[in-house]
Structure 1
Amino acid sequence: MNSNQLLVDDRPVAAVEVADTALTRARGLLFRRVLPEALLLRPCSSVHGAWMRVPLDVALLSTDGEVVHAQVLRPWAVTRPRRGVTQVLEAPTGSFERWGLRAGSRLAFISA
């Protein structure tokens, strides 16, 4: 997985791992004892909380990095696919509130 810096509305907020292969997307955050600050899955339009033990902050993003929808995903729940979503950002619960991330926010990823 690649590591990058996550910017929310041009503010650096966290390190982000990028899962951009079939294998890294399939693994996602499953079975990890320690969660990264953030994980970007791309291409991806929906995620599930199967086998997860804790809720996650999840943002559904357009190709240009606009947050289409943000929510807390509970274990065993599923996000509803939405038009224009091509990538998904996951983070520990409470991260989005700290970062000021919400629907309409613009995200950018800078290679570390």
Structure 2
Amino acid sequence: MKAKYFRVLNRTRGTILAEHAQLAGTSSERIRGLLDRESLSQGEGLWIVPCESVHTFGMRFAIDLVYLDRKSRIRKIRHGVKPWRISACLIAHSILELPAGAVTKSDSCVGDQLELSQLADARL
């Protein structure tokens, strides 16, 4: 099955969170997450669906976490989560994993409305 990629727009702020966010929708994709990556470049991301908690055990870099409800509203944000941490939001339906600093750069805040648009062809 071909991976799906999305552009993530913060409709509330008119800013971009990710130009190429890969969907992790299967069990194996969610378990693997970003563990096989050396880094996450600006503009990239991973959208984990469904998901309400993540860990960064074994990761090599810090990430920003954006917890979303079923309507793609931001419910919680964690900035610069370092390796070997756990984070959860029990009211979340999905989580965006982004490069550290991406959330601040986009001025995103809890309550903002996001729009995830599927891309025809992209690579993470």
**TM-score, length-scaled by structure 1:** 0.90
| SS class of match (2:87) | coil
Unpaired segments ≥5 residues, structure 1: none
Aligned length: 111
| SS class of match (2:86) | coil
Name 2:87's counterpart in structure 1. 79
CA distance in structure 2 between the aligned counterparts of 1:56 and 1:41, rounded to whole angstroms: 14
Q: Which of 4, 7, 11 is the aligned partner of 2:6? A: 4
CA distance in structure 2 between the aligned counterparts of 1:81 and 1:57, rounded to whole angstroms: 14
Name 2:31's counterpart in structure 1. 26
Aligned residues with identical type, % of pairs: 26
Q: Which amino acid aligns with 1:78?
A: I
Q: Which has the higher strand share?
A: 2
Runs of 4+ aligned residues of structure 1 deviating over 4 Å after TM superposition are none
1:40 has 2:47 as partner: yes
Pairwise CA distance, 1:67: 0.7
C-alpha contact 2:76 2:89 (8 A) present in aligned 1: no
1:56 has 2:58 as partner: no
CA distance in structure 2 between the aligned counterparts of 1:87 and 1:78, rounded to whole angstroms: 15
**TM-score, length-scaled by structure 2:** 0.82
| SS class of match (2:90) | coil
Pairwise CA distance, 1:19: 0.7
Name 1:91's counterpart in structure 2. 98
C-alpha contact 2:50 2:94 (8 A) present in aligned 1: yes
What RMSD in Å do the two structures reach over aligned CA positions?
1.5
